[in-house]
Amino acid sequence: MADQHARLVDGSDLGSLQQAQLRLRIRGVVQGVGMRPLVLRLARELGLRGVVRNDGRGVEIDAWGTPGALAALPRLLRVQCPPRARIDAIELSFAPPGPPPASFTIAPSVGGDVATEVVPDAATCPACLAEVRDSSARRWRHPFANCTHCGPRFSIVDTLPYDRHRTGMAGFAMCPRCAAEYADPGDRRFHAQAIACPDCGPALWLEHAGLRVDGDCIAHAAELLRDGMIIAIKGIGSFHLVVDATRPDAIARLRTRKRRPHKPMALMARDLDVVRQYAAITADDAGALRDPVAPVVLLEAAGSALPATLAPDTGLLGFMLPPSPLHHLLLESFATPLVFTSGNPSRETPCTNNDDARIRLAGIADAFLMHDRPILHRLDDSVLRRVGHAMQTLRRSRGYAPGALPLPPGFDAAPAITALGAQRKNTFCLLESGRAVLSPHLGDLDAPGAVDNAQRAYARLARLLGHRPSIVAVDLHPGYDATIAGQAMAARATLRIEEVQHHHAHAAACMIDHVHPLDGAPVLALVLDGLGLGDDGTLWGGELLCADYRASRRLASLRSTPLPGGDIASRQPWRNLAAQILALPDAPSLLARHAGVAAIRALAEQPLNALAHMITGVTHAPAASSTGRLVDAVAAALGLHAGTQSFEGQAAMALESLAAGCNDDGAYAFRLTTVDGLPRLDPAPMWPELLTDLDDGCAPGAVARRFFAGLAAGWAQCIRAEAPLRTHAAVVLTGGVFQNALFTRLILDQLADIGLPVWTHRRIPANDGGLAVGQAAVAAARAQHPPRPERSH
């Protein structure tokens, strides 16, 4: 009845109500997870009459019964919440007047404004897997078995509410037996919208040598893999390219055809026992691998050796377990892993539909294992790694997206905001109604077709969630494709544009990850990454900030060094080594003194005079306080991909791996200086020490570790100097450099007695894949309150 009777409840205060009819609205992750079947069962057990339905805002219940039964319903819903569901709130009001129905039923869904969440896809549950393996079950060896607890969700959703005719399953009419399961409240497939069986579900087939192979095409595909062939397999959210991970010849062909010479490739194993043959697994690792997300988990290689060409330059292997019955069936006959790498030529977006795969993967794959269930939303594999004291999400996609991130206290009144992220590892964020929805990983926007793909992904998800922003948040950098797209979006729809500095956004993303309140104390944020445009118009990448959500202030920075050639310096580490050495006052004598070092001999073959001339200009050698380029310079000094990197972060990955294999306890010196009133962490003292060590034959691993230890000690010194000067809620460690587990551990050790919590990322990537969340949070904070004035020391 009247809205003034509505309130949030936990069920404990319903017993005081005397009304015999009640309306309950359940908000959260409540569609496509078995919530309506649970409501139906509980209502019937409690003797209630009424209806339950999905609508655009969640699940709505109209119930008639005794006060005691009505009071028990919300409490039991929370206690027995389905495994994939999340109840954020139960709102109570009086049901509309009228006679109660004769029983309790599930009513057809209704539309309306969307204010609910979309459930991410989930790996096969144990019950469905048992059926797939049971020769007496009718879903024996069925590659698309699923139920209300598992299977495709976001990847097949077209519109909400979540019903079969609004998904990619709309074209598959249920057979009588599936229809009976769907209608049976006692069946775990009751109202499972993706329900399927061999009689009515999607079809699977193999295309090889111009022929279509039906029948047991999975067994045929397994034989082709054993013969060393490359198979393109259509999965849940995209295609993968698959080969036998024990065959160096197959891996080499895949790398050549895909034009991916060095970047590590993910592996899939049938179970944990297989993974343990090749990698060390902690309890946290095992938990992550078994999770319904089925992510790729980066593990330390140990035990039996796999071909080194799988993951050159690193001691890590990325493993995942099968995410669907199709993958379980393919892997069941393999006691060794298979390579599962993205289904695309290098630098292109992964394929999602059959015709596109036939065209773009024709020069790579020998055969195609395909099905006819549409993929409506592309989803790459999520990636996790243990960093510091917790598992950290490095890529948030299948299994996580588009699950909402609840916002901290203070953000409830924020307007609807779209944040468009960065140029690299792009994602976008939709902030509204106290939650932030981070899109699946979209990749680098300078890849062919990537901008169009990102715009389509945004349009689909915004339409799905009914998101109509009033503010568009973008990065300060005017050349980012995401910034350009945001400016155009704002101009078309007359929306407010909010520019957010790159490193401030990183800090805000970590604060959201730790549910830091909007009006909480500021944090000391150490932001280390490749590049981002600073407030002063220069390039930043090694910054200590005092930040809250509304504003940030630069407290200290890594010493700026020119980037000879601009962007090309990020691909050619030798340029960064040359710039670091040429910036030293005694560069000529240093080069002469260490002419025997291999890296210095290699530099001597480069046009150093031309490079020095370039550095004196600004156009072709912009100065940057980039930690990423400093890491590249040290890698180049050790001969690690000094000439050219074939993928972003290759030299840094190799340097971390080298350092992680050494227990040296030394540390190179960094000097804290002041330039234009700003404290600067200067690596200049390190270079003579490092080159002397190399001249003296010091182990490369020790040199690499001393660099990371010195960098950690230098920044810890800066943080210790700033921490006592004002009240801080925490120290935040953010930016892509903090994906480096060794460096993160070293700096955590340095800060162990700082007297403040030290926050690292958990659910939101520390790299640019989490930047959109921070942009949205900053824009939301500024929309509610203007930035605070800068506070002096």
Helix 573-582 vs helix 608-616: angle between axes, to the nearest 10 degrees?
70
Q: How confident is the model at residue 3, as a pLDDT?
A: 35
35 Cβ partners below 8 Å, 6+ apart? 26, 59, 82, 85
Q: How confident is the model at residue 612, as a pLDDT?
A: 86
CA torsion 147→406→772→238, rounded to 10°?
A: 0
Handedness of CA 441, 733, 627, 661 (dihedral sign): negative
| Rounded Cα–Cα distance for residues 120 and 286 (Å) | 21
Q: How confident is the model at residue 112, as a pLDDT?
A: 59
State which residues of the chain have pLDDT below 50.
1-15, 18, 789-793
Phi and psi, residue 40, nearest 5°:
-60, -50
For 214-357, list the strands marked E by DSSP: 231-234, 239-244, 267-268, 279-280, 296-301, 316-320, 338-342
CA distances from 667 to 207, 320, 685, 712, 742 (A): 57, 36, 11, 9, 14
* Largest Cα span, the chain: 95
Count of residues making up the chain: 793
The conformation of residue 765, written as its DSSP 8-state character, comes to -
Q: How confident is the model at residue 223, as a pLDDT?
A: 97
Say which residue the tokens 């004291």 belong to.
Answer: 389
DSSP H or E segment with residue 208: strand 204-208
The conformation of residue 247, written as its DSSP 8-state character, comes to -
| Rounded Cα–Cα distance for residues 72 and 153 (Å) | 30
Residue of 26, 28, 33 lying closest to 60 (CA atoms): 26
Q: How confident is the model at residue 113, as a pLDDT?
A: 57
Q: How confident is the model at residue 613, as a pLDDT?
A: 85
Q: Confirm if 234 and 205 have CB atoms less than 8 A apart.
A: no
Model pLDDT for residues 636-687, shown as the tens digit of each residue: 999 999 999 999 999 999 999 999 999 999 999 999 999 989 999 999 999 9
Handedness of CA 621, 625, 627, 633 (dihedral sign): positive
Q: How confident is the model at residue 562, as a pLDDT?
A: 95
Q: Confirm if 62 and 95 have CB atoms less than 8 A apart.
A: yes
3-state secondary structure of 206: strand
Model pLDDT for residues 94-115, shown as the tens digit of each residue: 878 888 899 999 988 876 555 5
Q: How confident is the model at residue 618, as a pLDDT?
A: 58
Q: How confident is the model at residue 110, as a pLDDT?
A: 78
Q: How confident is the model at residue 114, as a pLDDT?
A: 56
Strand 316-320 relative to strand 267-268: parallel, antiparallel, unpaired?
Answer: parallel
Q: How confident is the model at residue 669, as a pLDDT?
A: 97
Q: Confirm if 425 and 446 have CB atoms less than 8 A apart.
A: no
3-state secondary structure of 571: coil
Q: How confident is the model at residue 619, as a pLDDT?
A: 65
3-state secondary structure of 304: coil
Cβ contacts of 1-5, under 8 Å, gap ≥ 24:
1/93, 1/94, 1/96, 1/97, 2/94, 3/93, 5/92, 5/93, 5/94
CA angle, 469 then 475 then 481, to 5°: 90
